[in-house]
Amino acid sequence: MGHGWEGVVLKLMRGRDFTFTVTAAEQLTDGFRRVSVTDGGLLAATGGAHPTMWVRLWFERHGKPHQRAYTLVDPDPEAGTFSLDFALHDGPATDWARAAAPGDTIDATLQGTGFALPEPAPSRLFVIGDPASLPAINSLLAAAPGTPATIWYESAPGTDDEPPLRLDQAHHTLHRVDRHGRGGELIDAVRSTLPRLLGDDPSDAYVWIACDTATTRSLSGYVRRDLAVPKERVHALGYWRAG
């Protein structure tokens, strides 16, 4: 399957193509499935992995190529392996993940990824996300072991009782937020608690936001303007668009 006009654009933007081969698949929870792969040389070509590193996977939808971004889970540069966690919902990515079996292959393009914690290292983390960004949340927390972190995690009512977040109970505090309709509850939850947690001096904190585009935009503006968190201490990326 070719990659269509999106593939052409990514090539012009210096995207690099790889083919992953499935080695295993497991159901983590009712809402998440993990697929482990060999990387087709990706980690060797990039010199390793950085926190929250992601790739674009290619699927077929209605006979046309369709790409979505996924975070690398537990990358092993020496072995050339990692896993990919899929939040399960209707769509071609979920269909592929449910059926994935050892020996299956999938095309991927590396383009656009890049992340590093600021210097000096933050002494506090404030993390805002949802199922789409859960693997990146885990990667971020692993990159700052021992750092106190407060996590606001949004999900639909009645979904996984225990999302596969890798929390350190000694340092991490989780706030679960139910999403109804087009959302809004997450914004309210953050606005009602973050100012008190930040205190008068937010310069030692780091705020990471990755949820739907509208919520991400609203919260990133609030954190920068109203709470005066320095822009180099805020990372915001809209992972998806609400329909």
| pLDDT reported for residue 117 | 84
Nearest to 84 by CA among 70, 104, 103: 70
Task: pLDDT band for 150, please (50, 70, 90 cuts).
Answer: very high
**Residues spanned by CATH 3.40.50.80 within the chain?**
124-236
Say whether pLDDT at 238 is over 60: yes
Say whether pLDDT at 13 is over 50: no
Mean pLDDT of 13-31: 89
| pLDDT reported for residue 114 | 76
Task: pLDDT band for 3, please (50, 70, 90 cuts).
Answer: low
Query: Are the C-beta atoms of 57 and 22 separated by less than 8 Å?
Result: no
Task: pLDDT band for 200, please (50, 70, 90 cuts).
Answer: confident
Residue 109 belongs to what H/E stretch?
strand 105-110
Task: pLDDT band for 8, please (50, 70, 90 cuts).
Answer: very low
| pLDDT reported for residue 160 | 64
**Residues spanned by CATH 2.40.30.10 within the chain?**
4-110
Q: What is the reported pTM?
A: 0.89
Say whether pLDDT at 194 is over 90: yes
Mean pLDDT of 36-43: 97
Task: pLDDT band for 181, please (50, 70, 90 cuts).
Answer: confident
User: Measured between alpha carbons, how far is 55 from 224 in angstroms, rounded to an integer?
Assistant: 28
Task: pLDDT band for 183, please (50, 70, 90 cuts).
Answer: confident
Task: pLDDT band for 162, please (50, 70, 90 cuts).
Answer: confident
| pLDDT reported for residue 14 | 56
Listing from the earlier edge strand, what are the strands of the sheet with 205-210?
172-178, 149-155, 124-129, 205-210, 234-236
User: Measured between alpha carbons, how far is 192 from 61 in angstroms, rounded to an integer?
Assistant: 41
| pLDDT reported for residue 11 | 46
35 exposed, middle or buried (CB, 10 Å; 0-12, 13-18, 19+)? buried
How confident is the prediction for the chain on average, in pLDDT?
90
Query: Phi, psi at residue 226, to the nearest 5°?
Result: -80, -35
Considering the domain delimited by 124-236, tell me its CATH architecture: 3-Layer(aba) Sandwich (3.40)
Mean pLDDT of 36-44: 97
Say whether pLDDT at 228 is over 80: yes
Taking the CA atoms of the chain, what radius of gyration do you get in angstroms?
18
Amino acid at position 13, single letter: M
- Write out pLDDT tens, residues 83-139: 999 999 888 999 999 999 999 999 999 977 778 888 888 999 999 999 999 999 999
Q: pLDDT exceeding 90 applies to what percent of the chain? A: 72
For the domain made up of 4-110, give the CATH fold.
Elongation Factor Tu (Ef-tu); domain 3 (2.40.30)
| pLDDT reported for residue 9 | 43
The token pair at 54 is 């992601």
